[in-house]
A and B are shown apart, each in its own frame.
Chain A
Amino acid sequence: MNLLRELLDSLRNFLVTIGATTLFFGRLLAQVPRALLRPGLIIDQLHNAGALSLVIIMTCGLFVGAVLGLQGYDLLQRFGSEDALGTAAALALIKELGPVVTALLFAGRAGTALASEIGLMRATDQLTAMEMMATDPMRRVVAPRFLGGVIAMPLLTIIFIAIGIFGVQLVGVQLFGVDSASFWSQMRSSVGIEDVMEGLIKGCVFGVACSLIAVYEGYTATPTAEGVGRATTRTVVTSAVLTLILDYMLTAVLL
């Protein structure tokens, strides 16, 4: 009986979280047009979420591409078709690895920063102070951070993909000696503009999801040191799970 009650409780909590996040998203969207009137704040956040994530994104992109080159080459040379390495790696990077890995890194690098920053503002009563001064913290603090993340994520995805393809090329062509011309021409003839659009759409959706979760968790964090820590952890876990679930749905729709 106790078990059943706990189960019902956690189910109710789950529904409450989903509902609260959706309502929060609505309030956030209502503030977006007015937040756009102050582009300086958004540029600051674009710097925090995007420019500062650049190094980690580029490093990871290079190595994900290089590993793809190693594994792809090893697999394809068994069939004697290592020329298809460019096609296989580019499609994998553009359609799946690019958006998903970027989203996971983004949640770890920028999402946690957002959540803990807003959570600490809550814990140190900065948000309450803003309300006292008749400044809506949703507009002044949350919306610019959300927008910065939403703009940064697709750009980071594209950079990750481009660097990744460079990494594949480095391993496949420079190291294993796949013919450079057939590497590029096979890639070019089988990757379409719609594949790039698919990756870009995924990047945008993941950007909205990860940024929303980060600002929501930060904004609703329990105003204690422990609460902020828990909010940060939840940001990463929820973002990662939601990214992978959304990825399945988006792939099913876009394929």
Chain B
Amino acid sequence: MRATRTVEISTGLFVLLGFAALFFLVTQITNRELSINGRSYEVTAQFENVGSLKPGAAVSMAGVTVGRVESIVFDQDVYKAVVSMRIASAYDRIPADSDASIMTSGLLGGQYIGITAGGDEEYLAQGDRIVFVQDALVLENLINQMVASFGRRDDASAPESAGGQPQEAQP
């Protein structure tokens, strides 16, 4: 009888430990707490390009997370990505002319939305749209611009050396 008790106790302990570990993984390690506890309001912003921004990404002001990205959809009428964000009601005095930009945290970090406060007397409220936006930096575009600017400088510094070569048509 006594031996059976020990077997059952240790087995019970084992199973309990297993479920405790599962609970730990699900609640502490994964990103389940997307919704902000308590009341919140929703604002939207339209971006030309959201890069790799994903639902659940942080919305932060001055580095402090004030909300989360709720959804990202492509709007066929304006050909832009419409990002809706849920911001905690505690932060209800964000000026209406604030601007939202998509930023990257660190080298390998994910993208998030940073809001910089404007100077308006009016505050953002449920359903408002943030008008001033800055798109995600796309590395390819950046390199393209850089290459183009280098090319232009070369043309300017050595205009004669190219000789009588026909130039590409330029606007």
Contacts and interface: CB of A to CB of B under 8 A. Distances in A.
A12 interface: no
A196 B25 contact: yes
Nearest to A43: B11
B25 A190 contact: no
Contacts of B14: 46-47, 50-51, 54, 152, 155
Contacts of B56: 189
A165 interface: yes
Interface string A183-196: 01011111111011
B10 A162 contact: no
A81 B106 contact: yes
A84 interface: yes
Chain B CB count within 10 A is highest, among A47, A79, A81, A84, for: A47
Chain B CB count within 10 A is highest, among A81, A84, A190, for: A190
A44 B10 CA distance: 10
Interface string A174-189: 0000000000101111
Interface string B22-41: 10111011111000000000
Given A159-B21, A189-B110, A165 B13 contact: no
B108 A79 contact: yes
Interface size bucket, B side?
A: 20 to 34
A158 B31 contact: no
A98 to B, nearest CB: 10
A155 B25 contact: no
Contacts of A81: 106-109
Interface residues of A, number: 36
B15 interface: yes
Given A79-B108, A84-B109, A162-B24, A193 B10 contact: no
A193 B110 contact: no
Given A47-B7, A47-B11, A81-B106, A193 B32 contact: yes
Interface string B1-24: 000000110110111011101101
B10 A187 contact: no
A196 B30 contact: yes
A195 B31 CA distance: 11
A80 B109 CA distance: 11
Interface of A: 43-44, 46-47, 50-51, 54, 79-81, 83-84, 90, 94, 152, 154-156, 158-159, 161-163, 165, 184, 186-193, 195-196, 200
Given A43-B7, A43-B11, 4 more contacts: A159-B21, A188-B31, A189-B58, A196-B30
16 contacts: A43-B7, A43-B8, A46-B11, A47-B8, A50-B18, A51-B10, A79-B107, A155-B17, A155-B18, A155-B21, A156-B18, A186-B109, A189-B31, A189-B58, A196-B29, A200-B22
